[in-house]
Amino acid sequence: MSVGGERVLVTGGTGLIGSRVARALLGRGATPVLLDVRPDPGTIAGIADRVLLEAGDVTDAATLLRICREQGITRVVHLAALLTLDTGRDPVESIRTNCIGTANVFGLAAQHDLRRILWTSTAGVYGPRPFYERLLGRHTVDEDDPVAPYDVYGGTKQLCEVLARRFTRDGADIVGLRPVMTFGVGRLPGAVGVLTDAIRDAALRGHGVVGRPWSAAASINPMYVEDCADLIVRAVLHDEPLQRTVYNMGTGEYHGLQAMAEMALAAMPAGARLEFGDPGSGPAAHVPEFDYPDVDSTRLRAELDWTPGHDFRSAVAECVDIFRSEG
């Protein structure tokens, strides 16, 4: 992997994943240029003097092109998006940010000399677990299986996958990854934030409540943010063309929410509790309850010869330690 001081634009660059991507890029000799509509300097504490920070919106195509030209960008990691709960509350804004903003990023390939655009779709392009059990007779899906998003967020990302194919046909090197549930300590809005906040509350106060869109019976594929960022950076800096335009992303670890809650509690002081609230109420009442299929991420991990550094048990224990140390 030859980086040679490349400058990599990271949209959503001060978010949970973006800030970790910045650190991983620095570790490989690249310079991150972090674009965020509301930059959060707190997430890049300790590396602020080694990154370039830009305020801007991906829906502003002129700003994207200016940054690429002024900063000498050679690759892009596109993470900026409204997540599940926000897209449910404001579908129009989510289409503007997720779809138009992504189309603007893809359009950079024709206007500026880029080696690769790596962007995040979502495992949410797949339908609910029972759909695949009825359709395919199984609940594990790979990239050859049909997508069938059942919320606005997944729908916007499916459209972005169509857009990526359109720009790829014109010769752009665009690769999409479909992340599973990515968790960690940091700025984390959306459905994963609901789960992470409950774990933090249980670790610090002895009691956490997991609300909608989660339920004890839901199935999910967890991925620690440090591993997610490492795999993103490995993919964007990979020297050779990748074999597919979109990949499932994950560790190969599958759990139900109840099992995950029990593993999280094992890392906490005795007596801590995690319980599941009323699935029909709360700020996410408009979002369908999550029940994802198991997402087969074998292809990407094999092609990049990548193995995760954490399993869920060790990752959540690390999060609990951080929560308790920060108080």
Q: What pLDDT, in 10s, does the model give residues 91-116? A: 999 999 999 999 999 999 999 999 99
For residue range 147-160, what is the model confidence (pLDDT) as tens digits?
999 889 999 999 99
The span from the CA of 319 to the CA of 311, in Å, is: 12
- Alpha carbon distances (Å) from 194 to 184, 213, 272, 300, 322: 12, 9, 17, 28, 18
**Rounded-to-integer distance, Cα 284 and Cα 88, Å:** 8
pTM tops 0.85 = yes
Tell me the domains of the chain and their CATH numbers: 7-182+225-252 (3.40.50.720)
Beta strands 273-276 and 207-210: pairing type? Answer: parallel
Contacts of 296 (CB under 8 A, 6+ apart): 140, 141, 142, 248
pLDDT 10s digits, 111-139 = 999 999 999 999 999 999 999 999 999 99
